[in-house]
Amino acid sequence: MSSLRDQLFKAGLVTEEQVKKSEEKPKRHKPNKKTTQPHRKQASQTSQKKKNKPKRERTDLEKFYRERSSEENKERQQAKKAKEAAALLKKENNMKIGRLVNENLLDVNNATERYNFIIGSKVKYAYVSAEQLEQLAEGKLALIFQKGKCRVISTETAKKVKAIDSKRLIIQQTPEQQSNQTEQQD
């Protein structure tokens, strides 16, 4: 079997000169230990020169950009801390409201009466007992949403919830709404 060089030559992919050139093995120069040691000394000397070199002073523009980036980092960190604090406060308030609503819950399991109320432009409803329906209409009870469910609570509990979180949605009939409804019925 012939060598790869011979096969390439017979196929016409390489010339006779290229075959001869490849037959000559190039001599590799092996570095001896004596030549590498001075080179290492030179490298250590250049590193010492760099250490001894005085630092160049920064220009005003470089100082400005450095100060601006540090201020922006501080602002980002402060905003992040404020956001985390707000999230923690919201979580604590939700836990307080959850405990308060669960302790003062007035829901009835076998409620059959439907109480309609408006949120935005949508009409929503909750099932309550006949007695609770009258009290809701009079403004003595209120509704609050907790974990996706509409819960019946007393007005005192609703006031406590509003004190904890003023943005919390509480549905409660007010005296103004009662007078408007009686006028519309007449």
pLDDT in tens, 151-182: 899 999 999 999 998 888 888 887 666 555 55
**Which pTM does this prediction carry?**
0.53
Task: Please tell me which residue, 170 or 78, carries the higher pLDDT value.
Answer: 78
d(CA 60, CA 56): 13
Sheet holding 170-172, edge to edge: 149-154, 141-146, 170-172
d(CA 147, CA 52): 68
Confidence of residue 65 (pLDDT cuts 50, 70, 90): very high
Confidence of residue 86 (pLDDT cuts 50, 70, 90): very high
The domain spans of the chain are 113-185
Please answer whether residues 119 and 171 qualify as being in contact, where contact means their C-beta atoms are separated by less than 8 angstroms. yes
Compute how many other C-beta atoms are within 10 angstroms of the C-beta atom of residue 142. Answer: 23
d(CA 82, CA 16): 79
